[in-house]
Amino acid sequence: MKYSRLTKEQFEELHPEFINFLATQSIDASEWADIKANTPEVAEQELDVFSDLVWEGVLGQVKYLEHISGQHMHLFAIGETNMHLVAIQLKNDKDLATKEGFDWLRNNLLDDNVEFLQANKTYGEDKNLDIFNLIQQGAIITKGELYNYFNDLVNSDN
């Protein structure tokens, strides 16, 4: 398995797609019940393959990620060959993951306690796996509003 197995809730949400997935392998409902009952290891493999297919589809569509925790905000734009990072670091005790901390940042962008950094990172052998690893570390998929705002702010002189 390349990524991680979908949760029970995710499988329930994707039930029609899973049925289609099984149908592409000529597995109907009664055969699936038989597989689960008599060869659970085969059923586990099917769940893993389906999970990887779903992850591949999702990861291939990701354009932006963000990870906000404590005094750090990491905003990623996912490009074809590399990802661009805009990072904000607070040098005080404000917590960006709280409304109060985020409001403080919004009102104090030019404060000496706010540091902006940028970086580009070329993907390893597998772009989707790099994205997946960031998600596993706590990043979430977004539409890029924060990334675009801070990228424009940081690069407004250029």
The predicted model gives 107-114 an average pLDDT of 92
- Average pLDDT over the chain, rounded to an integer: 94
Q: CA–CA separation, 43 vs 90, rounded Å?
A: 48
E-assigned strand segments in 5-109: 64-69, 72-78, 82-90
Whether residue 158 is predicted with pLDDT greater than 70 in this model: the reply is no
Cβ atoms within 10 Å, residue 95: 16
Residues 25 and 73 occupy one common structural domain: no
The predicted model gives 97-102 an average pLDDT of 93
In a domain, 12, yes or no: yes
Residues 77 and 149 occupy one common structural domain: yes
CA torsion sign for 51, 55, 58, 61 is negative
The domain of 14 spans 8-59
Percent of the chain with pLDDT over 90: 94
Helix, strand, coil fractions of the chain, as percent rounded to 5: 45, 20, 30
Question: What pLDDT, on a 0 to 100 scale, did the predictor assign at position 107?
Answer: 94
Residues 24 and 74 occupy one common structural domain: no
Residues 92 and 32 occupy one common structural domain: no
Residues 85 and 142 occupy one common structural domain: yes
Residues 108 and 148 occupy one common structural domain: yes
The predicted model gives 63-86 an average pLDDT of 96
In a domain, 2, yes or no: no
Residues 52 and 96 occupy one common structural domain: no
Residues 27 and 51 occupy one common structural domain: yes
Residues 45 and 81 occupy one common structural domain: no
